[in-house]
Amino acid sequence: MLFLPVFCFFSFLHLLLKGGFADLIDVLMCWVLVLLGAGLLLLLYALRLKLAGIKVIGFIKGIMPILKENIMINSAIDAVPLNIRQCSKIFGISRSYLEDAMPVLAQINLDGNCFIIMGITMILIVSNGASLLWWNYLLLAILVFFLSIGAPNQPGSILIGVLIIIHYLKIPGMLPVAIYCEVLLGTVQNLINVVGDIVISAIDNRSIIAGSSAGSTK
């Protein structure tokens, strides 16, 4: 990971020498498509917040400074102490609840990993003109899920996952793809996981408070 920027430079250089700017445009289109898809996932988070009775705009304003700090850390697991402190301070979530829930969520919430690696996989299949039977897509989804479990919320998980997917699909000459996917989308993957952790924590905390209030009323 320390030398990843150097490898990324040579990957883009290889891309330009092999296919010219047309291939570079394809890479950028892949990046844009995955980001647009991630927007749909974020809309789902917003809907869950709305259904839980949490103001979405206020939540977005509160989470932005937390995400800025998470960009520097770039690992949901390593950022757990920071996220516990900030969520307690900004959203008023019980610190004792966060200390129990956040470390677990950082290990098991794989939204970013599964979504981005599966998105890259589908784009690779389409761009290479592959035609697979329905059960192949099911197997790919299962493979992506277990790859996400194997390297949850840590830098390099996209690199490892895409390399294994490329080997499984038997697509030659795709090592540079795995490298620049990690560079372009690694931070996005981490931020999706962090947003998911905080959304789940906020919704569960509100449910606990509502349950306590109902019990007190009775």
DSSP string, the chain: -TTHHHHHHHHHHHHHHHHTHHHHHHHHHHHHHHHHHHHHHHHHHHHHHHHTT--HHHHHHHHHHHHHHHHHH--TTTTHHHHHHHHHHHH---HHHHHHHHHHHHHH--HHHHHHHHHHHHHHHHHTT----HHHHHHHHHHHHHHHHHSTTSTTHHHHHHHHHHHHHT-TT-HHHHHHHHHHHHHHHHHHHHHHHHHHHHHHHHHHHHHHHHHHH-
Question: Within a 10 A sphere around the Cβ of 48, how many other Cβ atoms?
Answer: 16
Query: What is the predicted pLDDT for the residue at 218?
Result: 53
Encoded amino acid at 156, one letter: G
* Statement: residue 103 has pLDDT above 70: yes
For residue range 182-207, list pLDDT tens digits in order: 888 888 888 999 999 999 999 998 88
49 closest CA partner among 214, 211, 201: 201
> pLDDT at residue 75 above 80?
yes
From first CA to last CA, the distance across the chain in angstroms is 56
Share the mean pLDDT of the chain: 84
Residue 145 has pLDDT above 60, yes or no: yes
pLDDT at 212: 67
On the question of pLDDT at 152 being above 60, the answer is no
Q: Which one has a higher pLDDT value, 209 or 64?
A: 64
Q: Give the confidence band of 112 by pLDDT, cuts at 50, 70, 90.
A: confident
Assigned token pair, 213: 């209030």
Tell me what the mean pLDDT of segment 168-176 comes to: 80
Residue predicted with more confidence, 18 or 181: 181
pLDDT digits (tens, 9 = 90+) for 13-32: 887 787 777 777 777 777 78
